[in-house]
Chain A
Amino acid sequence: MVPVDKEGFIQLRELEKLIRKDTILVSIMHANGEVGTIQNISEIAKVVKNSGAIFHTDAIASTGAIPVNVKELGVDALSIAGNQFYGPKGSGALWLRSGLRLIPLMDGGIQEGGRRPGTEDIAAIVGMGKAAELATKNMKERIEKLSGLRDALIKGILGKIDHVVLTGNSSQRIPHHASFCVEFIEGESMLMMLNLNGIAVSSGSACTSKALKASHVLLAMGISHELAQGSLLCTISLDTTENDIDYVVETFPPIVDRLRQMSPLYAKYIKEKKG
């Protein structure tokens, strides 16, 4: 596992140290779906190439959202998923540099050149192709719209609520993504309150996960267990409006306030502050 810094960026020096002579594959996410951080994949690719290992990137959170060009990135393999850019759920693709051969994970079929057995879902494939075409065609406008709304959301939440941190980097992040950690309260209760108000978000808190464990992503970024409990992830779609963002920015602070009034951690903090 390659360590990351507090904004979720891969530490190149550490990566260099970790790659051994017998390392055959390095796989690093292009953008992280939980904190939105976009890695500098082309820089990382140079390091990996020098070592002779194969470099794969998981570009599921980035493809369709920002320009993704395998040549510019310098990768050997790249994964995408159609549902991330308004294509059908269940569609996806693995791009492989020509000449790169792989041993299939599943055997028993001749489909996809023997790489993966199973009858291809033609409708999903066509749907993903069309979605990719539209995403490419409208990328500039989409980025402008989404990043504008995202920045308004970040500004609104950080401005209106105390003791909230943005997770990830403020500019090197996917355009439709804003993530936070709210101190003194827990993610699931925030989620439920927001949901009751018609706002659908998600959280990486222990309580929201099936394993009841805090997000390994946030912990790897040096965020404490306690703060990670208050994690909140908002994604913005092309259908989201400025009014929607205003509504979230208006609705969220009283919810935080209400939960903090119930929180023994907040009570402790206030006491310490006074004392």
Chain B
Amino acid sequence: MPVYSDKVMDHFTNPRNVGEIKDADGVGEVGNPVCGDMMTFYIKVKDNKLEDVKFKTFGCGAAIAVSSITSELAKGKTLEEAAKITPNVVADELGGLPKNKFHCSNLGWKALRKAIRAYATKKGITVQGLDEKGEEEDDEHEEGSTCSA
């Protein structure tokens, strides 16, 4: 078992914002169970702000902690602010992640952005800081590719 920071353990044992939003404005699903990690993010948007963020995660301790802190960081932020959250921000907030668990912080970032993009596409709006094409969707459909650290 890897050695995790106290912050990771805190978010793993008491994850914030677990759940689904039934009438979500955007949903982002990333990862696959083959790799051992899968995350779904749900967002509710009001006045360009993330009024609510919820998630469901299948994965290791790091994956759960990453989902939890990402949801916490994003909640209450404007879409533009949320689009600025990067894997590094997530890992730093958690007090660091073991090297081979870093890809987990990528997943949190991807899932959140995917949910925001789903919302933006639906509304026909552009969110600054979010590429139109979906830069985070590059590798997730290739089986096993996200497994490598």
B and A form one assembly:
yes
Partner of A229, one of B29, B36, B39: B36
In whole angstroms, how far apart are the Cα atoms of A205 and B58 in the complex? 12
* Contact across chains for A188 and B60 when beta carbons are under 8 A apart: yes
* Contact across chains for A265 and B35 when beta carbons are under 8 A apart: no
Chain B residue total in the interface (Cβ 8 A) = 27
Partner of B18, one of A186, A205, A261: A261
Instruction: For B12, list chain A residues within 8 Å (CB).
Output: 189, 192
* Contact across chains for A192 and B61 when beta carbons are under 8 A apart: yes
Chain A residue total in the interface (Cβ 8 A) = 28
Asked if A213 is at the interface of the complex by the 8 Å CB criterion, the answer is yes
Kindly provide the distance from the CB of B7 to the nearest chain A CB, expressed in whole angstroms. Answer: 14
* Contact across chains for A264 and B38 when beta carbons are under 8 A apart: yes
Which chain A residues in 224-269 approach chain B with CB under 8 Å? 225-226, 229, 261-267
* Contact across chains for A188 and B20 when beta carbons are under 8 A apart: no
* Contact across chains for A267 and B20 when beta carbons are under 8 A apart: yes
* Contact across chains for B56 and A267 when beta carbons are under 8 A apart: yes
Which one of A205, A226, A229, A261 has the highest number of Cβ atoms from chain B below 10 Å of its Cβ? A229
Kindly provide the distance from the CB of A268 to the nearest chain B CB, expressed in whole angstroms. Answer: 9
In whole angstroms, how far apart are the Cα atoms of A191 and B12 in the complex? 12
Instruction: For A189, list chain B residues within 8 Å (CB).
Output: 12, 59-61, 63-64
Instruction: Name the residue of chain B whose CB is nearest to the CB of A213.
Output: B147
Asked if A125 is at the interface of the complex by the 8 Å CB criterion, the answer is no
Asked if B40 is at the interface of the complex by the 8 Å CB criterion, the answer is yes
In whole angstroms, how far apart are the Cα atoms of A195 and B12 in the complex? 13
Instruction: For B148, list chain A residues within 8 Å (CB).
Output: 212
Residues of A within 8 A of B (CB): 184-189, 191-192, 195-196, 205-208, 210, 212-214, 225-226, 229, 261-267
Given contacts A189-B60, A264-B56, 16 further A-B contacts (CB under 8 A): A185-B58, A188-B1, A188-B36, A192-B61, A195-B1, A196-B13, A206-B36, A207-B36, A212-B147, A226-B34, A262-B56, A263-B58, A264-B39, A264-B57, A266-B58, A267-B56
Smallest CB-CB A-B distances: 6 pairs: A207-B60, A188-B60, A206-B36, A264-B56, A226-B33, A225-B34
